A and B are shown apart, each in its own frame.
Chain A
Amino acid sequence: MLLQRFLIRLLTMLITLFGVAVVVFVVIRVAPGDPIAMMLPPGATDDDIARLRALYGLDKTIVQQFFIWLSGVVRGDFGTSISLRQDVLSLVFNRLPATLELAIVALIMAVALGGTTAVLGARERGTAVEAGIDIASGAALSIPDFLWGLVLILLFGVLVPIFDISGRVSPQLDLPFVTQFYFFESLLRLRFDLTWDLLKHMLMPAVALALPLAAIISQLLKQSLKEVLDLDYVVLARVKGFSETQVILREALKNAALPTLTLVGVQFTFLIGGTVIVERLFSYEGLGNMAIDAVINRDLPLIQGIVLVFALLFVLINLTVDMMYALLNPRLRHG
């Protein structure tokens, strides 16, 4: 049952990815402006242009170009970046860890903040505390990450300058890292001086990304907690003499968390999508920042590569969440 569900999901995932590849390819080929003309110095001859067009495969029909490109992609060959003159896949893999670290730190913050306020709100239901949490989460949800980023820059970059507002790490530092996962590697190497520097750069973009998601988690989890708290087994736990916090944490949370989990998956993809502009805002050297440069420079192979990697990430997250839901939900597990 589970395997069948997994295979069906895997198939739809591949169809989605193929669709994404088609859309990206079509959108980019519609683009006016000749990327070849931009690469060459002003004095280039028609011969030079033709040679370069052939080199990048631009002299073939659009359908041919698509399948040549797609067969390369399947083999891991995403082509060469026109503006940076480097292999697209290695450029992407160089930047992806920075974005993933940012997204994961933001996700952890969102779950922690959303979870805490949900438990607090459910415990204090009907009081001013719950009303306060509702107002705060309403505001956190309505204001998008781009604006939160700007608010944070003003508050903690200018008014009380305690965090860095640009870059990923202080440029003068000597980095001993072998991977691009600077933050996680600094933790493993116990280089907490570097961890602190990385965190000072990462904290504000991560909070900007985390706030809207924290609000959604808080609202939904609080709602499910309040529903579960009236059920018999929870009432029984209360009669047994557990405190309200214990009742929530030990009994209610387990069952209330499932609907939230599905939602967190979809929302996590939105959070990753948000890294594009938030990285730009904080000059954070991740994939999103590179993507905007690629678009501005009309670097077609690089744009294609980055969009595909984002799409792959999104469908993988959805697949993982779907499988976790199936594993955790007793009705689906035995069904």
Chain B
Amino acid sequence: MDRASRRGLSPRLWLAGGWLLLALLAAIFAPLVAPQDPLAQDLMLERLPPFWLDGAEPGYWLGTDSLGRDLLSRLIFGGRIAFIVAFAAAIAACLVGSTLGLIAGYFGGWADRIISRIVDIWMAFPPVLFAILLVAVLGTGLSSVILAIAIIDWTRFCRVIRAEAMGQSRMDYVENARIAGYGRIGIMLREVLPNVVPSIVALLSLEMGIAVIVEAILSFVNLSISTDDPTWGSIIAEGRLSIHQAWWVLVFPLITLILTVLSFSQFGEALKTRFDPVLR
């Protein structure tokens, strides 16, 4: 591995960071940057192609859907939901999963046995079906989607952090801290936790990409937030239906999603490599 990628400065990482920053800024300032009202329907403007094709209208850069709504504006506003879900769900899953993982890995014994058994039970659920079921139960809406993803994906953090905490707790420095008279919880928080933080940060980035996908899947099956607000998944669902009449309604949200997911996973990988003391 060359120096640049070890420091996390490879071109790929710059591209990933650039895309995420661009998408995030567009989402934050959506009312200012979106060229049109994302909800405005105009049947005179239905299924306009993107700007380089014949029949395109100025101001509708990526074309319109079957109700004449501007695709670019819908993608920009859909980014708001995607990023809110990505950050909130990933952080919630991380807090629950890392705490339980730390406890299971450091204390071992009964705590570990119970937590590991719960993780096993969770792993026996098909995650997408579990997510759809939870949202159906909790009711559609932004907070339900966030909660559902956190409830399902905490195990990703728990499994990794448990294994790492277990490894750390066998190290000499933990024994030294114990001899020095620190309490068990003090050692866990002050000594073990800082050493597993790099893994937590890397997983967090990966989880954000996963959360974006799960939100898209939920709105694809029409179970995410209210049907009025545009989301990347609901745009994809429309695009899937009108695929033979207006391919752009599927292509652009798909590209947006792929770039976002790839960027989050590139970040996660780079962070993992950067913090890994062996690779460093």
Contact = CB atoms under 8 A, between A and B. Distances in A.
A274 B124 CA distance: 13
A314 B139 CA distance: 28
Q: Could you tell me the dominant secondary structure of chain A's interface residues?
A: helix
Contact of A144 (B117, B244, B250, B261): B261
A259 to B, nearest CB: 16
B137 A28 contact: yes
A91 interface: no
Contacts, number: 123
Interface stretch (A59-67, A69-77, A235-243, A292-300): A292-300
Nearest to A29: B137
Interface residues of A, number: 47
Interface stretch (A19-27, A105-113, A170-178, A247-255): A19-27
B271 to A, nearest CB: 15
B129 A291 contact: yes
B124 A298 contact: no
A154 B133 contact: no
B136 A154 contact: no
Interface stretch (A182-190, A197-205, A275-283): A275-283
A24 to B, nearest CB: 8
Interface string B100-144: 000000000000000001101101111111101110110100000
B257 interface: yes
B247 interface: yes
A164 B244 CA distance: 13
Contacts of B139: 32
B217 interface: yes
Interface stretch (A38-46, A216-224, A302-310): A302-310
B254 interface: yes
B120 A292 contact: no
A12 interface: yes
Contacts of A15: 117
Nearest to A272: B126
Q: Which 9 A-B pairs have the closest CB atoms?
A: A273-B126, A19-B121, A311-B124, A142-B265, A31-B137, A276-B128, A295-B136, A276-B129, A314-B124
Given A276-B128, A310-B125, 15 more contacts: A17-B124, A20-B121, A23-B125, A142-B262, A143-B261, A150-B250, A273-B127, A277-B221, A288-B128, A291-B132, A292-B129, A292-B132, A298-B136, A307-B125, A311-B124
Interface of A: 12, 15-17, 19-20, 23, 27-28, 30-32, 139, 142-144, 146-147, 150-151, 153-154, 157-158, 165, 269, 272-277, 280-281, 288, 291-292, 295-296, 298, 303, 306-307, 310-311, 314-315
15 contacts: A16-B120, A19-B120, A31-B136, A31-B137, A32-B137, A143-B262, A153-B250, A154-B251, A273-B125, A288-B126, A295-B132, A296-B222, A296-B223, A307-B133, A310-B124
